[in-house]
Amino acid sequence: MPFVLVHGGGLDSSCWERLVPLLNGAAYAVDLPGRGVRPADLSRVTVADFADAVTREILYRDLTEVVLVGHSLAGITLPRVAARAGARLRRLVFVSCVVPPHGVSVADVLHTLSPTVAEVAAHIGDDVVGADGTLHSDLATAMFCNDMNHEQRAFTLARLVPEAMGVISEPADLSGLREPVPRTYLRLLQDASVTPDAQDQMAANLGNAEIVDLDAGHMAMISRPAELARILNAL
């Protein structure tokens, strides 16, 4: 049972490094376009490009019975991968994912995710994003690292990368969820970026999703990798 792991916004595939060795099966962490092994002009990257990159990884490796795991912003990518490669998927797993209703953009729901994200959304500019295009470290710490020790915070902050900001304004396409692929929403109970109440709404947008809880902050793959692995392996 292979795992394909899709990172969230402002990160690359290295965020999964501590989880991969704990999974019972081959695991492939994908770099989305514009980072890691997939350089691209971030100003031109779309959600379709994200989905194409993940689908190409699955097809190139000829993977079947895939457990496709997405984190945070990957909630807009997984349904499109299901539309492209649904027959190869065993389950979709949404780890504290942002999943707007069909036709609604991430930008339209940012203010509902958490007070911290609402404040960031209201002040996107030099006071939020640094000259290198990454979140300022104090904001990233508040959003991602509230359940972490010093070493875990340093690990997380070292993995921040610029994001393709245009994707948050694209209408979500959930038509791939018509594929008969079981889906699980993993709710992170200490999440400061997407509150549990907001996660409940995102899970509802998936339709018939199983809900599983983990007592962790937003970056559970870094702060609680063993606990996250146990949940994923049990699927």
Q: Give the residue-averaged pLDDT of 214-225.
A: 98
Given a cut of 60, is residue 126 above it in pLDDT?
Answer: no
Domain of 214, CATH number, reads: 3.40.50.1820
Cα–Cα distance, 146 to 184 (Å, whole number): 24
pTM as predicted: 0.95
Give tens-digit pLDDT for 29-88: 999 999 999 999 999 999 999 999 999 999 999 999 999 999 999 999 999 999 999 999
What pLDDT score was predicted for residue 133?
A: 67
What pLDDT score was predicted for residue 129?
A: 66
Residue 51: domain span: 3-234
Given a cut of 80, is residue 130 above it in pLDDT?
Answer: no
Given a cut of 90, is residue 188 above it in pLDDT?
Answer: yes
Could you tell me which of 4, 9, 207 has the C-alpha nearest to residue 96? 9
Please, are residues 214 and 190 in contact by the beta-carbon 8 Å criterion? Answer: no
What pLDDT score was predicted for residue 128?
A: 61
In this prediction, what percent of the chain has a pLDDT beyond 90? Answer: 87
Cα–Cα distance, 164 to 197 (Å, whole number): 27
Given a cut of 80, is residue 204 above it in pLDDT?
Answer: yes
Cα–Cα distance, 143 to 120 (Å, whole number): 10
Reported as a pLDDT band with limits 50, 70 and 90, residue 131 is low
What pLDDT score was predicted for residue 122?
A: 66
What pLDDT score was predicted for residue 219?
A: 98
Please, are residues 184 and 91 in contact by the beta-carbon 8 Å criterion? Answer: yes
Judge residue 158's burial from the number of C-beta atoms within 10 Å of its C-beta, 0-12 exposed, 13-18 middle, 19 or more buried: exposed
Q: How many domains does the chain have?
A: 1
Cα–Cα distance, 108 to 106 (Å, whole number): 5
What pLDDT score was predicted for residue 141?
A: 93
